Structure 1
Amino acid sequence: MVREPNLVISSASQRIVEDGMSFTVDLYKLEGGDGWSLEVLTEDGTSIVWDDLFEDDRTAFEEAISTIRSEGAVAFANGGSNVVPFKQ
């Protein structure tokens, strides 16, 4: 039987507050896999996942912070203009 790989969650994952808005930055990868995935969750439950993998978790975290600051926290919250909602 083939064992499914474990999900490795980075210790750099954390909750941050920017412009008074709360975000959860999650960094994870498959055990033995190449590259870290980056997901940012907004306080209203919106999930933003980057398509590209990152070489290390620190680079992924810095990308999240940089993007939130350059785009503005409001761009991520409450279905901002750059967030495409899932069809229900």
Structure 2
Amino acid sequence: MELEPNLIISSASGRIVVEGVPFKVDICKLEGGDGWSLEVVTEDGTSIVWDDLFDDDQVAFEEVQVTIEKEGPVAFVKGDSNVIPLKR
């Protein structure tokens, strides 16, 4: 029986606040994997996951900062046209 790979959580993961809006940033990869995945979760539980993997966890964190600055934090909270809500 083959063991599942370990999940590596980046030290760049954590909570950030932009213009008073809190976000949870999750940057992780599978042990031995090729790249870092990036997910941002808003206070209301909306999850935004980047399709592309990042070669470096710090580059992934910089992408979060640039994207939130460019789009504005409210675009994530109010669900811009690129956000598809999950059915519960």
1:84 Cα offset (Å):
1.4
- Structure 1 position 12 matched with structure 2 position 9: no
Aligned AA for 1:31?
A: E
Instruction: Give 3-state SS (helix, strand or coil) of 2:77's partner.
Output: coil
Unaligned runs of 5+ residues in structure 1 are none
Match of 1:85 in 2: 85
Match of 1:76 in 2: 76
Unaligned runs of 5+ residues in structure 2 are none
1:78 Cα offset (Å):
3.1
1:14 Cα offset (Å):
1.4
Match of 2:33 in 1: 33
- Structure 1 position 45 matched with structure 2 position 67: no
RMSD (Å) for aligned C-alpha atoms: 1.0
1:80 Cα offset (Å):
3.2
Q: How many equivalent pairs are there?
A: 88
Match of 2:54 in 1: 54
1:83 Cα offset (Å):
1.4
1:26 Cα offset (Å):
0.6
1:82 Cα offset (Å):
2.9
Moved over 2 A (4+): 78-82
Instruction: Give 3-state SS (helix, strand or coil) of 1:45's partner.
Output: coil
The sequence identity of aligned pairs, in percent, is: 69
